Amino acid sequence: MEKLEMIYEGKAKKVFKTDNEKQYIVEYKDDATAFNGIKKGTIVGKGVVNNKMSAALFALLEEEGIPTHQIELLSDRESLVKAVKILPLEVIVRNVAAGSLAKRLGLEEGVEMKKTVLEFSYKNDELGDPMINDYHIQAMEYATDEQLDTVKSYALKVNEVLKKFFLEINIKLIDFKLEFGLYEDKVILADEISPDTCRLWDADTNKKLDKDRFRRDLGGVEEVYQEVLERISKKK
Q: Is 129 in the site for ligand C5P (CB under 6 A)?
A: yes
DSSP assigned state of 26: E
d(C-alpha 16, C-alpha 25), whole Å: 5
Smallest separation (angstroms) from ligand C5P to the CB of 110: 13
Distance, CA of 23 to chain centre: 20
Q: Is 124 in the site for ligand C5P (CB under 6 A)?
A: no
Taking CB under 6 A as the criterion, which residues in 179-198 touch ligand C5P?
Answer: 197-198
d(C-alpha 147, C-alpha 125), whole Å: 23
Q: Is 101 in the site for ligand C5P (CB under 6 A)?
A: yes
Smallest separation (angstroms) from ligand C5P to the CB of 23: 24
d(C-alpha 174, C-alpha 201), whole Å: 7
Nearer to ligand C5P, 120 or 176 (CB): 176
Which x/- pattern over 136-175 shows residues binding ligand C5P (rule: CB under 6 A)?
Answer: ---------------------------------------x
d(C-alpha 47, C-alpha 54), whole Å: 11
Smallest separation (angstroms) from ligand C5P to the CB of 129: 5
Q: Is 133 in the site for ligand C5P (CB under 6 A)?
A: no
Query: Phi and psi at residue 3, in whole multiples of 5°?
Result: -90, 120
Query: Phi and psi at residue 161, in whole multiples of 5°?
Result: -65, -45
Residue 173, Cβ density class (10 Å: 0-12 exposed, 13-18 middle, ≥19 buried): buried
Which x/- pattern over 58-97 shows residues binding ligand C5P (rule: CB under 6 A)?
Answer: --------------------------------x-x-----
| Residues near ligand C5P, by CB under 6 A | 90, 92, 98-101, 129, 175-177, 197-199, 211
